[in-house]
Every structure is written in structure tokens, then in C-alpha cells.
């Protein structure tokens, strides 16, 4: 399988294990490290593509499992593909459906060839195989597509060993099934919390020669320290000249710690999900804007933030929208949360280029606390 020229990765700076680079895709460059908003159902929830552009997003995730079920990958292909369907002209990455099938469906039956499952929407029966996942992702047409993998409980050694064998066999089948030259397939390193399994997986996945390597199965139940240990362990094993995508990670502290450990791409539903639950993310910690203390607070969420929400609206107004159950609350807080994480990755990128990422991280760690005191 030939790749189009676009999928090259320029590593432009290193600062310790942290890396700054440029990944070229058919829909434009990704300046790494980068944080990607998630648009599960072909929309970042409550946000227009124009708002995504304004907040500086360049990569958006979407999801093969969800779009296969609704509206159907063939339907999206008939609409001209996912970029045109959702009106996002910059790069898109689709997940393979593996994680969703293992986390959102009932009555799963796994065999060597694939997985039978029932839709979380209507209980209808479906089957995904590596070939099916690739076919779905080729219909969708994202720039980056993911190998179909099995996502076991990260603490169960025996299950992880079995799942890893399947995930590796499936990754090879994905590579063989793949036909479109304008999509980059990323293999996924699994292995739970077990460094030796992770090492074995990293070596196998790397050997496939995919233009990027993903790290899956973290942020699904293990501790932060376990995640960081795995990242430290993987850093010297993963190929330097290919982008590394840590799947599903996205708190401010995780973004900082992952980038320090060599991660290039991250995504998470956290910023938009938290926004719908009235929580604002800042680099000094999280604020629950429903709190009555904000009723007369004339400050923006974060006085140092340059997002649309912080330039225009006060905490008092956002709290009013929440109490009055206005949809605009979710939109405005989502804009802020996404902007914060996108900007954080950009600042880390500049710090890497300037060779000051350790002091940036030290400064971040000294001011960040998970629950920000509301007087701040």
C-alpha cells in the first residue's frame, strides 16, 4: 500500500523527551503537540465548525462506531465524505470503533475474526471485523484512521495477553485491508498497565510501518502514575520519526505530563462533556459555574484566556445561563474549555521549541489544582 506524500512527519525540536513537529495530511498540517476536540457524531457537541476555527482547532476526531450506526458510513460517503458532511475542511481522525464496541455495547461476542455486538441505540445486531472497520473508515474518509483493536481491562494480565494477540493480528489485517492512499492508518499499542506487554506491543506495532503509532487503553481505569510510567517506558521504544497519539487523554495535567513524555497528539471528550455539566477548565483548576458564588462575579472565567467566551462574557452571565437552563451555556463553556486545552498544547509546543518545557511544566504544576478556589 502506497501512501500519498502528505503523510510525513517533521520533527523540528526536542526538549528532553518532549517533541515539537509537523504532521502533513491531505487536509493540512498538524503542528504537534496538538489537542484535538472530539466530534463523536460528526459534530463537536454544541459547537459550529466556524467556532472551532476561531478557537484554533486543526484536528477533529470522529467515530467509526457511532457514524456506522447513525447515519451510516455509506450515507456519509454519498454525501461526499465526512469532511464535507460536517463542513470541516481541516484534518479529521476517526477511531476504529474498537473502544466504543468494548465500552458502549451489550452482549459482545469476541472471536479471533471480529466482534458481534448490539447497537447501544436500538439493540440491533452488528459485526465488526478489522476489514469492516477499515471499510467504514474508508467510507468516512478521515485523514487519519485507526486500527481495529480490543480494549481490555488494563489490570487483567491474562486478558491483556489474549487481547494483545488479537489486537496485533487485527492491526495486520487492517493494514492489508486498507486501500485509500489518502488516509494514514495508525496502529495502536495496547498491553494495559504491564510494561513488558506494552513494550512487546510497541515493537510489533512499530514493525508494521504505519505512519503514526497510537497508545490506547490508558485513561480507562488505571491511575495517573501508571499512565505516566507506561509513557516513560514507551518513549525510547517508539520510533522517533512518527507521530505518537495518546488516545482519550485530555485533562490539563495529563496534557502537560503526556507531552513531557513524548506524546504528539491527544484527544478527549472531557472539555465538552464538562462544559455541559457547567464545569470550566482553567490552568489554575476547575470552576463549577453553577455555584452561587459566581452570581455577581464580573470576571471572565479566566482573565488570561483569549477565547470568545472570556473576551465577551462574565462568570455572572454564564451562571445565569446555567440556572435559566439556556443552551448557550454549553456552547460558551465548551468554547472556553476547548480553547484552553488547544492553547495549552500550543504553548507547550512553543516551550519545546524554546527549550524551556521543564520550567513551563514546573510553573504549571505549582499553580494548577484540580478544584480551583472560586475566589481565584
- Contact positions vs a copy of itself (CB under 8 A): 41-43, 45-51, 70-71, 75, 78-80, 85-87, 295-296, 298, 308, 312-314, 316-317, 319-321, 323-324, 326-328, 330-332
And the C-alpha cell for 335? 468554547
Using alpha carbons, select from 31, 68, 65, 37 the residue that is nearest to residue 53: 37
The residue with cell 459547537 is 47
* Given 15, 143, 267, 302, the catalytic residue: 267
> Closer CB to a copy of itself, residue 48 or residue 369?
48
- In the complex, the smallest distance separating the C-beta of residue 368 from a copy of itself, rounded to whole angstroms, is 29
From the list 95, 264, 297, 302, the catalytic residue is: 95
Residue closer to a copy of itself by CB (options 30, 332) is: 332
In the annotation, is 149 catalytic?
no
Q: Which is nearer to a copy of itself, 162 or 314 (CB)?
A: 314
> Grid coordinates 458510513 are at which residue?
73
Would you say 290 or 356 has its CB closer to a copy of itself?
Answer: 290
Q: 289: how many CB neighbours lie within 10 A of its CB?
A: 28
CA 34 to chain centre: 10
Q: Which residues pair with 280 in a beta bridge?
A: 287
30 in Cβ contact with 23 (< 8 Å)? yes
What pairing do the DSSP bridges indicate for beta strands 92-95 and 212-215? Answer: unpaired
Shortest Cβ 70–a copy of itself spacing (Å): 6
Q: Which is nearer to a copy of itself, 72 or 209 (CB)?
A: 72
Write the burial class of residue 362 (CB in 10 Å: 0-12 exposed, 13-18 middle, 19+ buried).
Answer: exposed
**Residue 69 or 115 with smaller CB distance to a copy of itself:** 69
CB of 75 to a copy of itself, least distance (A): 7
* Dist. CA 101–CA 89, nearest whole Å: 28
Minimal distance, residue 45 CB to a copy of itself, in Å: 6
- Rounded to the nearest 10 degrees, the angle between the axes of helix 130-140 and helix 157-177 is 50
What minimum distance in Å lies between the beta carbon of 318 and a copy of itself?
11
Least Å distance between CB 73 and a copy of itself? 12
Cell numbers for 299, please give them: 470576571
Nearest alpha-carbon partner for 301 in 362, 104, 260, 312: 312
Query: Contact 56/343 with Cβ under 8 angstroms?
Result: yes
C-alpha cell at 156: 487483567
| Active-site annotation holds for 267 | yes
Which positions are annotated as active-site residues? 95, 267
Amino acid at each position: 500500500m502506497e501512501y500519498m506524500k502528505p503523510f510525513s512527519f517533521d520533527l523540528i525540536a526536542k526538549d528532553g523527551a518532549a517533541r515539537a513537529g509537523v504532521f502533513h495530511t491531505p487536509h493540512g498540517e498538524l503542528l504537534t503537540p496538538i489537542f484535538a476536540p472530539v466530534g463523536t457524531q460528526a459534530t463537536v457537541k454544541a459547537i459550529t465548525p466556524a467556532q472551532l476555527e476561531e478557537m484554533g482547532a486543526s484536528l477533529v476526531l470522529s467515530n467509526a462506531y457511532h457514524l456506522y450506526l447513525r447515519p451510516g458510513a455509506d450515507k456519509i460517503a454519498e454525501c461526499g465524505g465526512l469532511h464535507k458532511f460536517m463542513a470541516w475542511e481541516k484534518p479529521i481522525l476517526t477511531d476504529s470503533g474498537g473502544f466504543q464496541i468494548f465500552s458502549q455495547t451489550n452482549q459482545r461476542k469476541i472471536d479471533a475474526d471480529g466482534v458481534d455486538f448490539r447497537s447501544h441505540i436500538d439493540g440491533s445486531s452488528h459485526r465488526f471485523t478489522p476489514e469492516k472497520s477499515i471499510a467504514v473508515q474508508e467510507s468516512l474518509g478521515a485523514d487519519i484512521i485507526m486500527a481495529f483493536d480490543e480494549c481490555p481491562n488494563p489490570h487483567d494480565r491474562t486478558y491483556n495477553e489474549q487481547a494483545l494477540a488479537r489486537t496485533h493480528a487485527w492491526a495486520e489485517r487492517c493494514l492489508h485491508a486498507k486501500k485509500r492512499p489518502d488516509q494514514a492508518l495508525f496502529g495502536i499499542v495496547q498491553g494495559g498497565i504491564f510494561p513488558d506487554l506494552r513494550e512487546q506491543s510497541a515493537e510489533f506495532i512499530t514493525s508494521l510501518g504505519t505512519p503514526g503509532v497510537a497508545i490506547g487503553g490508558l485513561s480507562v481505569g488505571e491511575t495517573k502514575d501508571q499512565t505516566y510510567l507506561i509513557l516513560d517506558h514507551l518513549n525510547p521504544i517508539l520510533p522517533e520519526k512518527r507521530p505518537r497519539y495518546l488516545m482519550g487523554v485530555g485533562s490539563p495535567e495529563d496534557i502537560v505530563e503526556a507531552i513531557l513524555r513524548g506524546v504528539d497528539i491527544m484527544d478527549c471528550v472531557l472539555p465538552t462533556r464538562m462544559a455541559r455539566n457547567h464545569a470550566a477548565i482553567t490552568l489554575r483548576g476547575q470552576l463549577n459555574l453553577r455555584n452561587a458564588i459566581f452570581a455577581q462575579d464580573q470576571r471572565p472565567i479566566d482573565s488570561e484566556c483569549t477565547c470568545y467566551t472570556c473576551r465577551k462574557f462574565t462568570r455572572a452571565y454564564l451562571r445565569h445561563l446555567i440556572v435559566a437552563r439556556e443552551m448557550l451555556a454549553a456552547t460558551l463553556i465548551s468554547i472556553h474549555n476547548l480553547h484552553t486545552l488547544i492553547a495549552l498544547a500550543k504553548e507547550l509546543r512553543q516551550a519545546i521549541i524554546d527549550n524551556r518545557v521543564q520550567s513551563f511544566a514546573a510553573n504549571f504544576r505549582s499553580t494548577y489544582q484540580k478544584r480551583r478556589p472560586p475566589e481565584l
